[in-house]
């Protein structure tokens, strides 16, 4: 692949994006990313970290404006612009639907289409530094088109999303955390993302999968329907080999040590799960 490299750290796959000199997203990079998503369906991969090289100019600085301009300037291709961005939204949907945790380590500027991609990740880790996160699309006559307006509304609420998009805001990492757009801001986002990925990768995988389904599907419906979705996922996971083994591991602990067990490394080191 030209734009992506991957490496394994046990059950965690680390995907590193690089497109110097400015780390713009372009269609060939998204095409490669779609291939990676299919590879991440491998059950041996329990978590994924997406990052950039520290020496590059951004995490995913934004989608190439030059490429967008060429697209709409040519009558032969401008008619297909809606289909192209709709495909990107579908790719990001597939990313979010993976039955494992996806963590974005925003170790550089992350705006526009790059920020939209991170909104399809489960966790976003910001990094201290002279970086900018945001959706400045209106400043160049566009709007977020790869799911950004809808994911933002569900993430931070309609009122904040309206202000964010209509002002075409770009902010420093600490402000993004205050707004709820990133979960943490740390000195080394890739290192922290890997730490979190290894933690969640150690949990029973069926529980991680079903928790994601309950959270995301429930967020798109009313409360009572969400309860039903949760109940279906709870019932399924309760009948899994993962749950049976994990529960037996816990109840083998002495009563007086069970609370401490939740905070110990032992709670992150279950035996191998059946069928995994």
Q: What percent of the chain has pLDDT over 70?
A: 96
Residue 232 CB coordination number (10 Å):
14
Residue 154's pLDDT band (boundaries 50, 70, 90)?
very high
By residue range, what is the domain housing residue 210?
204-268
Parallel, antiparallel or unpaired: strands 133-134 and 170-171: antiparallel
What CATH number did the domain enclosing 16 receive? 3.90.226.10
271 confidence band (pLDDT: 50, 70, 90): low
Alpha helices, DSSP H, located in 40-171: 65-73, 75-78, 81-97, 113-119, 148-156, 158-166
Separation CA 220–CA 235 (nearest Å): 20
Contacts of 42 (CB under 8 A, 6+ apart): none
- Is pLDDT larger for residue 92 or for residue 268? 92
Active site residues: 116, 137
CB-CB contact of 146 with 197 (8 Å) = no
Q: Read off the CATH number of the domain in which 242 is found.
A: 1.10.12
DSSP 222: -
The whole-model pTM stands at 0.93
Higher local confidence (pLDDT), 98 or 255: 98
Residue 181 and residue 215 in one domain: no
Q: Find the mean pLDDT for residues 209-238.
A: 95
Indicate the SS3 state at residue 14: strand
**Mean pLDDT computed over 124-146:** 97
Q: How many Cα atoms are found within 13 Å in the side-chain-facing hemisphere of 247?
A: 9
Is 60 exceeded by the pLDDT of residue 204?
yes
Residues 68 and 85 in one domain: yes
* Statement to judge: residues 70 and 196 lie in one domain: yes
What is the SS3 assignment for 48? strand
Average pLDDT over residues 29-50: 97
Residue 158: pLDDT band (50, 70, 90) is: very high
Look at residues 23, 34, 18 and name the one whose alpha carbon lies nearest to residue 112: 23
């Amino acid at each position: 692949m030209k734009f992506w490299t991957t490496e394994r750290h046990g059950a965690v796959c680390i995907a590193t994006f690089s497109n110097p000199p400015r780390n713009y997203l372009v269609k060939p990079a998204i095409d490669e990313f779609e291939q990676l998503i299919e590879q991440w369906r491998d059950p041996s991969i329990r978590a994924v970290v997406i990052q950039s090289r520290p020496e590059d100019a951004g995490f995913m600085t934004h989608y190439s404006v030059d490429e967008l301009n060429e697209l709409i300037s040519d009558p032969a291709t401008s008619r297909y612009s809606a289909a192209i961005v709709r495909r990107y939204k579908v790719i990001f949907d597939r990313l979010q639907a993976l039955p494992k945790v996806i963590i974005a380590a925003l170790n550089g500027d992350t705006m526009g289409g790059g920020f939209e991609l991170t909104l399809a990740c489960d966790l976003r880790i910001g990094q201290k530094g002279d970086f900018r996160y945001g959706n400045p699309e209106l400043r160049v006559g566009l709007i977020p088109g790869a799911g950004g307006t809808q994911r933002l509304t569900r993430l931070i609420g309609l009122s904040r999303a309206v202000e964010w998009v209509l002002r075409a805001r770009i902010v420093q990492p600490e402000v993004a955390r205050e707004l709820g757009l990133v979960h943490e801001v740390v000195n080394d986002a890739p290192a922290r993302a890997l730490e979190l990925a290894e933690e969640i990768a150690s949990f029973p995988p069926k529980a991680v999968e079903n928790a994601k389904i309950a959270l995301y599907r429930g967020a798109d419906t009313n409360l009572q329907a969400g309860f039903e979705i949760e109940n279906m996922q709870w019932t399924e996971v309760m009948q899994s080999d993962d749950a049976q083994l994990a529960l037996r591991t816990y109840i083998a602990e002495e009563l007086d040590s069970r609370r401490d067990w939740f905070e110990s490394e032992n709670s992150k080191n279950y035996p191998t799960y059946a069928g995994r």
